Structure 1
């Protein structure tokens, strides 16, 4: 740790680097951070699916929605690139799908014969309200995801006597990974307010957002 401490300030200038702890703590924290990445991608995929399937929102509209989200509390690398993707026109892929008309008609017939239909087809959907509901659900889910992950790190740290600094670990990959997000700064501040914080959901700021 002594030699690492000498070079740590220089590393922190160009990347989000910090000393994690003793034993296998570094590998354990890396595993949890990978989980944050996968959960983040899954949550965005679900947000897309609900928005697209329920409100029939176009990709151009989704690009505007995700771009707007990326200017607020959802600011992150994943939301940013999702917005960029919605702006890409893939004529080859769309042509491939439209070329399967016979298969699509047959599949629709099978579902209709089984009593399945588009239950939302005749319903009016308020796109603005739906996208706001999805945004709030996405943000609440992100809070819950990080709550579980940070609690996992905290619990293992106590068990193994690693004495990990949770606030610093929240920031370790802020600028150099898929989970790059302003959200991580708020997690660090929560642990600065209360270094013994047992759960992010009982932090006053995060608790208020969940209740709202």
Structure 2
């Protein structure tokens, strides 16, 4: 589970080259009586809704034969995220068929390296877009 320390980590690792992501640490650290003093991030499901502006932009770009991968990728991710029930059903099928190990298991995570990798990836994504 991700706790307030995750918001602190994001706040601590955010640097000038990633200032566009300043809202992340604030939102992930939000607390509310309704969620019993747990971080908001613990209540967020891994499921999102679709935003049509990205979809429209990608459609328009396709009609003009212009690649728009930076806009299309988040739309694709939101679409896949919205299929949570399907992903859960697929997970049950994997278990039933003998795939007992968590297919997302990456083992021990070097937190310092992960934070540095994410920082560099965010910077690279800003350069690419």
TM-score, normalised relative to structure 2: 0.28
For the pair shown, the structure with the greater C-alpha radius of gyration is 1
Looking at both structures, which has the greater relative contact order when contacts are Cα pairs under 8 Å and sequence separation is at least 6? 1
Q: TM-score, normalised by structure 1?
A: 0.20
